[in-house]
Amino acid sequence: MIVRSGAGLRGVAAVAAAVGLTALVVTTAPLAAAAPPAGGWAPVDSAAIRPGVVTETAGGGACTSNFVFSSGDRVFLGQAAHCAGTGRATETNGCDAGSGPIGTPVTILARDGSERSGTLAYSSWLTMQETGERNENLCEFNDFALVELDPDDVADVNPTLPVFGGPTGLDTDGLALGEQVFSFGNSPLRMGVSQLSPKRGTSVGDAGEGWSHEVVTATPGVPGDSGSGYLGSDGRAFGLLSTLNLAPVPATNGVADLASALAFANANGGFDEPVELERGTEAFSADLLAG
């Protein structure tokens, strides 16, 4: 059985498990700033808006943002499309599942304790429904949305993933079986226990002809982690948390392929300029204790 991971805050029980993993420490060289807005990105330590902040979509659920994206002078936080879902947690087919419309208000719970206002600007679910998509792999696994930030809040943004740094770029060639993966979930179910947010694990296979990657992490993603970003062993962004897998292998997660979802958005989302992933300003490190 598969359930959407963000809708879980409306009734799906949290999954708890731990997986023993061999420690690995990998560090990449520092990155140049990644095409920041005029004035530059906010300093990483004081930025109020970063990947991993919680988003609350009106009529939907509380989720974890994944990465920062831009299209021209527009800046977005990524989240899962099902974070705006209006149906049951078991509705996994984006081609017919209910969703709030484009323009739905999204509250961003910033790191400084403030609440910032965003707007649902793109949803793969709504776009597939509008275009009449019937490809089963896309309908089941294309689970990506963009929340547009208020221009006044862009100066408070830094695109660096907490703890691990990066992303160093976009992964476009998928995952190798057994490859290590890294993520940062911020589910409210953790009651503010920050030590449980960073996750490290491994790839255990693909689904949907590469549209989804199955991963096992310690600890697994739980309801509210939905949409959180995943990095591969080189720090490149490869996906976002989409599902909690209760069967056939409990406590695994389905991670939507980001490169495929982004390509679909650029081909069908009606953007004036291409949507691009923004790189982190800090080096990627696989050391869970790095800070």
Task: Note whether 143 and 268 are same-domain residues.
Answer: yes
Helix (H) or strand (E) holding 139: helix 136-141
Mean pLDDT of the chain: 85
Task: Note whether 136 and 175 are same-domain residues.
Answer: no
By C-alpha distance, which of 203, 90, 197 is closest to 140?
Answer: 90
Domain-embedded: residue 283: no
Domain-embedded: residue 42: no
- Per-residue confidence (pLDDT) for residue 82, from 0 to 100: 96
Task: Note whether 142 and 78 are same-domain residues.
Answer: yes
How many angstroms separate the CA atoms of 237 and 233, rounded? 10
Task: Note whether 61 and 95 are same-domain residues.
Answer: yes
Task: Note whether 223 and 101 are same-domain residues.
Answer: no
Task: Note whether 173 and 192 are same-domain residues.
Answer: yes
Domain-embedded: residue 188: yes
The pTM assigned to this predicted structure is 0.87
Packed helices 124-131 and 258-268: angle between N→C axes, nearest 10 degrees: 50
Question: pLDDT at residue 240 above 60?
Answer: yes
Domain-embedded: residue 290: no
CATH number at residue 252: 2.40.10.10
Domain-embedded: residue 282: no
Q: Give the percent of the chain with pLDDT over 70.
A: 81
- Per-residue confidence (pLDDT) for residue 126, from 0 to 100: 98
Task: Note whether 170 and 234 are same-domain residues.
Answer: yes
Categorise residue 27: left if φ over 0, alpha if ψ from -120 to 50, beta otherwise: beta
How many angstroms separate the CA atoms of 244 and 93, rounded? 14
Q: What is the mean pLDDT of residues 256-276?
A: 98
Q: What is the mean pLDDT of residues 72-92?
A: 93
Q: How many domains does the chain have?
A: 2
Question: pLDDT at residue 247 above 90?
Answer: no
Domain-embedded: residue 31: no
Domain-embedded: residue 192: yes
Question: pLDDT at residue 17 above 50?
Answer: no
Task: Note whether 155 and 79 are same-domain residues.
Answer: yes
Domain-embedded: residue 34: no
- Per-residue confidence (pLDDT) for residue 186, from 0 to 100: 80
Q: How confident is the model at residue 218 (pLDDT cuts 50, 70, 90)?
A: confident
Question: pLDDT at residue 245 above 80?
Answer: no
What helix, strand, coil percent values describe the chain, rounded to 5? 15, 30, 55
Min mean pLDDT across 27-31, 56-60, 247-251 is at 27-31
- Read off the pLDDT of residues 139-166 as tens digits, 9 standing for 90 and up: 999 999 999 999 999 999 999 999 999 9
Task: Note whether 179 and 237 are same-domain residues.
Answer: yes
Task: Note whether 268 and 132 are same-domain residues.
Answer: yes
Q: Residue 216 corresponds to which tokens in the numbers above? A: 């096992």
Q: How confident is the model at residue 118 (pLDDT cuts 50, 70, 90)?
A: very high
Tell which wins on pLDDT, 155 or 23: 155
Structural domain boundaries, residue 85? 54-159+262-277
Task: Note whether 65 and 98 are same-domain residues.
Answer: yes
Helix (H) or strand (E) holding 200: strand 198-207
Task: Note whether 59 and 10 are same-domain residues.
Answer: no
